[in-house]
Amino acid sequence: MTETLQTPPLVIASSPAPGVALLTIDRPARRNALNLAVKQELGAALAALEQDASVRVVIITGAGGYFVAGTDIAEMATMTPTDHTLLATDAVFHQLRRSSKPLIAAVEGYALGGGCELALACDLIVAGAGARFGQPEIRVGIMPGAGATQRLVRTMGKYQALRLMLTGEPIAAPDALAAGMVSEVVADGAALARATALAVTIAAMPPLAVRAIREVVHMGQDLPLDSALLLERKAFQLLFDSGDQREGMQAFLEKRSPQFQGS
């Protein structure tokens, strides 16, 4: 009988705190480069967490001192346009955009190319001081294809975004913070701990309000201001029909900690 060897998982799921899920991309020999197998495992893990009501926040990080050094060029080099379509090479980024749960990227080392786009697809980015972000696709004859041309412009403005994408030069974490590209910069090695602390704080917040804030921010950023403000006002008013609104305000008046139920 031939023994079947089990392939170690490339994405490891764990729970560092109640209500918090952690997805660790574990391909350190290639600095966690995104190949199709990694993307498929990450997509499957995200789909499972989407159905888990106990999970309120998801953290994404990389093993071995790196976030994601890019998309795997060795795998991409011979791909055709048809291959990208049939293999749905951007499917995991669609899943990230559709996530109903807050996503936090904990970045150490490199977040380049598809790795930078993976971080940009999250709601918050916590970076170690030595982390580097960049879109070097132009240096191998292509361009970003998983959101950077749109997200960077919306995040840091046209002039900074085009500098990154047209030169392929990376940006250091402190500079990324100054440009509004990341949420926080912490000491090297501390990104995951800080991301977990943020996740615990968010997980304790009323789930309906968390979802409403994310939806209004994501949908409103591309609307005219008057339309976006109307969207915000409607979402604000709807929360006054929730049990969490009543509990939160009553707890405030009674000077006690609220117990949010997500209803």
> Domain ranges in the chain?
11-203, 207-253
Interatomic CA distance for residues 212 and 190, integer angstroms: 30
pLDDT at residue 1 tops 70: no
Least confident piece of the model among 8-17, 40-49, 66-75: 66-75
Q: What pLDDT score was predicted for residue 2? A: 53
pLDDT > 70: percent of the chain:
98
Fold (CATH) for 207-253: Lyase 2-enoyl-coa Hydratase; Chain  A, domain 2 (1.10.12)
Q: What pLDDT score was predicted for residue 5? A: 60
Average pLDDT score over residue span 229-240: 94
pLDDT at residue 4 tops 80: no
pLDDT band at residue 57 under the 50/70/90 scheme: very high
pLDDT band at residue 188 under the 50/70/90 scheme: very high
The overall average pLDDT reported for the chain is 92
**DSSP code of residue 180:** T
Is there a contact between 24 and 192 (Cβ–Cβ < 8 Å)? no
Q: Tell whether domain 11-203 is in CATH 3.30.930.10.
A: no
Is there a contact between 15 and 56 (Cβ–Cβ < 8 Å)? no
pLDDT band at residue 239 under the 50/70/90 scheme: very high
Cite the beta strand spans of 27-134 per DSSP E: 57-62, 103-107, 110-112, 124-128, 132-134
158-167 and 148-156 are packed helices; what angle lies between their axes, rounded to 10 degrees?
140
In the chain, the largest separation of any two C-alpha atoms, in whole Å, equals 70
pLDDT at residue 202 tops 60: yes
Q: What pLDDT score was predicted for residue 122? A: 97
Each residue's pLDDT tens digit, 121-172 = 999 999 999 999 999 999 999 889 899 999 999 999 999 999 999 999 999 9
